[in-house]
A and B are shown apart, each in its own frame.
Chain A
Amino acid sequence: QSALTQPASVSGSPGQSITISCTGTSSDVGGYNYVSWYQQHPGKAPKLMIYDVNKRPSGVSNRFSGSKSGNTASLTISGLQAEDEADYYCSSYTSSTTWVFGGGTKLTVL
């Protein structure tokens, strides 16, 4: 049950696009299309942004998109806005019938 691997930090300027990676194994990310992404602002509860690799819940901006290739999933945010500055976490179902989160990525909007 090791945490999924995410970069500690990424940054981008307003209007640019950034991508956050989430690397696991064939027992989690690579084995299931049950990857979700969460956004967390300081002092707040996480918010679901992407589920099932590339689906957006109602109300989430279409600037957020997800994808997966092999054991690595990715979250792309296009047209960066100041309000996107937050921590982002991926999660995946595992072959142990449990769930695992990534270590988190801090997004800074320059």
Chain B
Amino acid sequence: EVQLVESGGGLVQPGGSLRLSCAASGFTFSTYWMTWVRQAPGKGLEWVANIKQDGSEKYYVDSVKGRFTISRDNAKNLLYLQLNSLRAEDTAVYYCATELGTVPAGYWGQGTLVTVSS
């Protein structure tokens, strides 16, 4: 059974940093593109970033370019999202998901909440 478990969320001040992790199990992690999707409170889904199987390609939504970094550790079956220079508008539940070829997010984790506030 595919399992994705996010962690690392919490309350952070504007301008601060946070690193989110996603522990994957139940599938061969190293053979899948992986994705982060976020959802602000009461708002819709927003695709944030994705990363190729070997980490050689990474893509980001314009609003996080230069501030967020996606990475992975295939030996540990872990996906990361480093969040820097955080803004109030980054407040959201962050989901990790498997990208399945032509599907941006096939399997989803339960999400981790990031709150940016002073």
Q: Could you tell me the dominant secondary structure of chain B's interface residues?
A: strand
Chain A residues with Cβ below 8 Å from B61 are: 1, 98
User: Given that A1-B61, A97-B59 are known contacts, is A48 also in contact with B44, CB under 8 Å in the complex?
Assistant: no
Contacts of B47 in A (CB 8 A): 91, 98-101
Minimum CB–CB distance for B69 against chain A, Å: 16
Q: How far is the CB of B24 from chain A (nearest CB, A)?
A: 15
Segment of B7-15, B82-90, B107-115 engaged in the interface with chain A = B107-115
Bound together, the chains give a CA A87 to CA B98 distance in angstroms of 21
Q: How large is the interface on A (under 10, 10 to 19, 20 to 34, 35 or more residues)?
A: 20 to 34
Of A33, A38, A48, which contacts B45 at CB under 8 A? A38
* Contact residues in B for A38 (Cβ distance below 8 Å): 45, 105
Q: Give CA–CA (A40, B59) in the complex, Å.
A: 25
Q: Residues of A contacting B55 with CB < 8 Å?
A: none
Query: Chain B contacts of A101 at CB under 8 A?
Result: 37, 44-47
Q: Looking across the interface, which residue of chain A has its beta carbon closest to that of B93? A: A45
Selected contact of A51 from candidates B60, B103, B109, B111, CB within 8 Å: B103
A-B contact count (CB 8 A): 65
- CB-defined contacts of A89 to chain B, threshold 8 Å: 44-45
Kindly identify, within residues 35 to 65 of chain B, every residue whose CB is under 8 Å from any CB belonging to chain A: 35, 37, 44-47, 50, 59-62
Set of chain B residues within 8 Å of A3, measured between Cβ atoms: 44, 46
**CB distance B111 to A45 under 8 Å?**
yes
Q: Which chain B positions have C-beta within 8 A of A87?
A: 44
Decide if B103 touches A48 in the complex (CB within 8 Å): yes
Separation of A47 and B106 alpha carbons in the complex (Å): 8
Whether B80 sits at the interface, judged by CB under 8 Å, is no
Please give, as numbers and ranges, the residues of chain B lying within 8 Å of A36 by CB-CB distance.
Answer: 102-105
Binding site for B on A (CB under 8 A): 1, 3, 33-34, 36, 38, 40, 45-48, 51-52, 57, 87, 89, 91, 93, 96-104
B residues sitting closer than 8 Å to A (CB atoms) are 35, 37, 44-47, 50, 59-62, 95, 100, 102-106, 108-111
Closest 3 CB pairs of A and B: A99-B104, A104-B44, A45-B108
18 other contacts beyond A48-B103, A89-B44, A96-B59, with CB at 8 A cut-off? Answer: A1-B61, A33-B102, A34-B102, A34-B103, A45-B109, A45-B110, A46-B37, A51-B102, A51-B106, A91-B105, A93-B102, A93-B104, A99-B47, A100-B47, A101-B37, A101-B46, A104-B44, A104-B45
